[in-house]
Structure 1
Amino acid sequence: MTTEELRTDIAMVLDRARTRTSLLTEAVSDDELCAQHSPLMSPLVWDLAHIGNQEELWLVRDLGGREPVRKDIDELYDAFQHPRASRTQLPLLSPSEARGYVKSVRDKVLDVLDRTPLYGTPLSDHGFAFAMIAQHEQQHDETMLATHQLRRGSAALHAAPPPPKSAAVGGEAVVPAGPFEMGTSSDPWALDNERPAHRVHVDAFAIARAPVTNGEYIEFIGDGGYSRPALWSEAGWAHRKASDLTAPLFWRQDSAGVWWRRRFGLVEKVQFDEPVVHVSFHEAEAFARWAGKRLPTEAEWEKAARWDPATGRSRRYPWGDEAPSAERANLGQRHLQPAAVGAYPAGASPLGVHQLIGDVWEWTSTPFRGYPGFRYFPYAEYSEVFFGTDHRVLRGGSFGTDEVAVRGTFRNWDYPVRRQIFAGFRLARDAEQGENS
């Protein structure tokens, strides 16, 4: 790719993120933009200005060396200074001020893009800083999408339904024991916690070819899954009781026993063949124990998603190194729900594991930590401050994740109790000696 082609690609990625941000913030009234729809989430207008502030800090001031646009608001939009639940109490920019601010910043950024050599420093090499900001905006867009799911009222967002099932998918794939290359040292837009590439030995394991579906989860509920302490960890059971969990978030059962869900302002029957979504790590872990299985480790998930048994090479995506397409994965808010299991056969891995990218984030059993040789870049607050046992790693992206912000090495993380995120899971187990797919 030439430098000019790279500039064009960066401009396209930045524009795609801004188009989505505009959709999410213009779909509701200014009053709703300023409202606190959940204590777990920021008001949408805070996210909007925060997106612009981060873009200004890194691209206008740092990379571009330009004068600040609004240095006076840095503290207001520092995510570590103010908890989400208290942000409505801050003197935030109004919706019109926030829109004007992000436009002014973007105009300067495009000028910086035209004039900056895309090489020579770690921030500028291959346009890394621009890609980091595009990923940051898309991550906040997914957060804002989750806020839309939490808001009450009529539907504000609309999208076509996902494609129907086109392949029968079931059972497990057995991944043989052996090493593989985990993480990356070569992907120019990979973030710090994906680095560096390192060899990891993984014992033989079996992994489900598809995520757990709503229909399977209903069986767990019907078999008393939420009332049997033996299925839950101590922390999970304590949280289940304290929060009175009885089903995935946004589900309810009517007097006839039919399960319904609320989805972006619509109430509809739960679709049995879709991956379950809006479940916590604790719920996923309890289901796995009920099924006689377990959650995959992060290394197992990545080996299933990237390892090519024919070459021994780790690929960027399950299907290869080519970018995601509408035929391979449910990404980018193209649809507003997970697709049925079997809807994306073109996105399967060489071992026949489906829908590893898109549809739902998948909980793993692994706490979030840095890889051997990890070095934060360009700031510790992106991931290093979250390392430890408090968070679990999620992999694969959801229907609300943009392709720039997900790949086979991409790592997400959250608290085990979180359910507002678009998270589901798939099952794994240790393979028996001599077992094959």
Structure 2
Amino acid sequence: MPTTPVQDEDALKELIAAELSASRDRSLGLTTDVLATPELLTQVSPLMSPLVWDLAHIGNYEELWLLRAAAGGDPLRPEIDGLYDAFEHPRAERPKLPLLPPDEARAYIAEVRTRVLGTLEDVRFRPDNPLTAGGFVYGMVVQHEHQHDETMLATHQLRRDAALPDPDPAAAPADGGPGRDEVLVEAGPFVMGAEDDPWAYDNERPGHLVDLPAYYIDTVPVSAGAYLAFMAAGGYDDERWWDPAGWEWRCSSGRRAPGFWFREGVQWLRRRFGRVEPVPLDEPVQHVCWYEADAYARWAGRRLPTEAEWEKAARWDPAAGRSRRHPWGDDPPDATRANLGQRALRPAPAGAYPRGASAYGVRQLVGDVWEWTSSDFRGYPGFRSFPYKEYSEVFFGADYKVLRGGSWATHPLAARGTFRNWDYPIRRQIFAGFRCARDAA
């Protein structure tokens, strides 16, 4: 999606139709195209839904917002609304619900899509209607589907067998690394948040000035090899490095390594989509929770960046005096700048993608791994919930930590520099890593 609204309504509708199609191809490729019925109905972890729930939920969300709200149409399957309401039924309870079986779920989402495309021609993107202005509600639904696709990839990772074809993409662009471990971000104000992006979510708004003191930030995410040094130094057994709640989690969980890692003799291995392989020491570490990231940073004599520090390093262009849409500028992501969109089922080596560097020379701020920040998830000054409180507002508070930047599984539409993710600090099934920062003074 361009930074400013598409002025030609027909062109915007063509874009929307293409993005709807692309997101659906991806959803089917993660569910009914690769799995048998029993696998779609199975809950692999209480943290995740059965994949067939995600599939029908995607269609029900689309029906609610594009058929009923945007087009003013009659409900297609109102009797299933409650089944696929994420707030009415926690994930652990969903296998017990009378869910649509896979064939019926696929037929339902296909019927919804047919009707959505049939009504799209008559929808007007009037600037005085915030739901449809700039195609917002359509962008919301497309991004919602891609976000569930990333959740479905996390479900696949929790499965024991390999169900997904492992692409073998060309080597990630590299030039030997940035040459510096950290860079200085000078003190001063910058514009944080979305200003004129028509598909940005409510929690990204409004754009506002934030004045930060000077700080240093890592030029690349923390690698698995660097994290292994923390483990070898006894980092998991030294309470000094852990937040009190994190130490309680470490002791009660018994964790001593990132998620999906295990040791055979002197070698550390990982399980990745059912495949067992040596831990690639040059990749950004992933499947670590906030407490693990925070403990590593303390051990290294550093800290996690705040959300504002992360965004300034990613978006602010001090020479131009403005915030960019992406670290490299306003051009959309491509395969030369970031590892996104499931092109590979893994992060690229730390230090890759020199063309994706920010104005400060910081790399891989978008793609590869979500990056934990030290910040709690809260609304920006002047925040207004839109179009429903359950997307953002109900999660505000100290229970959730903010993640930024997207992962290799994140679709480029949700990889803008203002996009905000959040989760509990104990979560490890997500494709999350981190980088460190420190005060300049």
Q: TM-score, normalised by structure 1?
A: 0.97
* Cα deviation, residue 164, structure 1: 4.0
Whether the aligned pair in 2 keeps the contact of 1:363 and 1:425 (CA below 8 Å) is yes
In structure 1, give the amino acid aligned to 2:397. G
In structure 1, give the amino acid aligned to 2:217. I
Whether the aligned pair in 2 keeps the contact of 1:13 and 1:404 (CA below 8 Å) is no
Give the equivalent residue in structure 1 for 2:36. Answer: 29
| RMSD of aligned residue pairs (Cα, Å) | 1.0
- Residue number among 186, 192, 205 corresponding to 1:176 in the alignment: 186
In structure 1, give the amino acid aligned to 2:332. A
Unaligned runs of at least 5 residues, structure 1: 433-437
Equivalent pairs counted in the alignment come to: 431
- Once structures 1 and 2 are overlaid, which stretch shifts more, 161-170 or 222-231? 161-170
Give the equivalent residue in structure 1 for 2:248. Answer: 238
* Cα deviation, residue 144, structure 1: 0.3
Whole-angstrom CA distance in 2 between matches of 1:237 and 1:157: 38
**CA separation of 1:121 and 1:164: change in aligned 2, threshold 3 A:** closer
Whole-angstrom CA distance in 1 between matches of 2:406 and 2:165: 20
Pairing 1:81-160 to 2, within 5 Å after superposition: 81-119=88-126, 120-160=128-168
Whole-angstrom CA distance in 1 between matches of 2:172 and 2:54: 34
**1:49-80 Cα deviation digits (max 9, x unpaired):** 00000000000011111111100000000000
Whole-angstrom CA distance in 1 between matches of 2:427 and 2:170: 25
- Once structures 1 and 2 are overlaid, which stretch shifts more, 138-147 or 149-158? 149-158
In structure 1, give the amino acid aligned to 2:150. E
- Shift >4 Å, 4+ stretches: none
Whole-angstrom CA distance in 2 between matches of 1:131 and 1:111: 17
Pairing 1:247-286 to 2, within 5 Å after superposition: 247-255=257-265, 257-286=266-295
Whole-angstrom CA distance in 2 between matches of 1:340 and 1:11: 35
Whether the aligned pair in 1 keeps the contact of 2:402 and 2:422 (CA below 8 Å) is yes
Whether the aligned pair in 1 keeps the contact of 2:173 and 2:336 (CA below 8 Å) is no
**1:299-318 Cα deviation digits (max 9, x unpaired):** 00000000001111000000
Give the equivalent residue in structure 2 for 1:435. Answer: none
SS in structure 2 of the partner of residue 391 of structure 1 = strand
Whether the aligned pair in 2 keeps the contact of 1:156 and 1:265 (CA below 8 Å) is no
Give the equivalent residue in structure 1 for 2:14. Answer: 8
* Cα deviation, residue 239, structure 1: 0.1
In percent, how many aligned pairs have the same letter? 59
Whole-angstrom CA distance in 2 between matches of 1:52 and 1:152: 28
Residue 46 of structure 2 is aligned to residue 39 of structure 1: yes
* Cα deviation, residue 342, structure 1: 2.3
Whole-angstrom CA distance in 2 between matches of 1:115 and 1:23: 30
Give the equivalent residue in structure 1 for 2:229. Answer: 219
Residue 347 of structure 2 is aligned to residue 341 of structure 1: no
**1:86-125 Cα deviation digits (max 9, x unpaired):** 1110000000000000000000111121110122410110
Whether the aligned pair in 2 keeps the contact of 1:225 and 1:287 (CA below 8 Å) is yes
**CA separation of 1:419 and 1:162: change in aligned 2, threshold 3 A:** farther
In structure 2, give the amino acid aligned to 1:431. A
Residue 317 of structure 2 is aligned to residue 308 of structure 1: yes
Residue 82 of structure 2 is aligned to residue 75 of structure 1: yes
Whole-angstrom CA distance in 1 between matches of 2:202 and 2:170: 33
SS in structure 1 of the partner of residue 184 of structure 2 = strand
Whole-angstrom CA distance in 2 between matches of 1:382 and 1:400: 20
Give the equivalent residue in structure 1 for 2:341. Answer: 332
Whole-angstrom CA distance in 1 between matches of 2:51 and 2:439: 44
Whether the aligned pair in 2 keeps the contact of 1:211 and 1:355 (CA below 8 Å) is yes
SS in structure 2 of the partner of residue 219 of structure 1 = helix
Whole-angstrom CA distance in 2 between matches of 1:423 and 1:136: 19
SS in structure 1 of the partner of residue 323 of structure 2 = coil
In structure 2, give the amino acid aligned to 1:31. P
Unaligned runs of at least 5 residues, structure 2: 1-5
Give the equivalent residue in structure 1 for 2:436. Answer: 427
Give the equivalent residue in structure 1 for 2:3. Answer: none
* Cα deviation, residue 185, structure 1: 2.5
SS in structure 2 of the partner of residue 420 of structure 1 = coil
Whole-angstrom CA distance in 2 between matches of 1:159 and 1:338: 12
**1:10-57 Cα deviation digits (max 9, x unpaired):** 111111111100100021111100000111000000000000000000
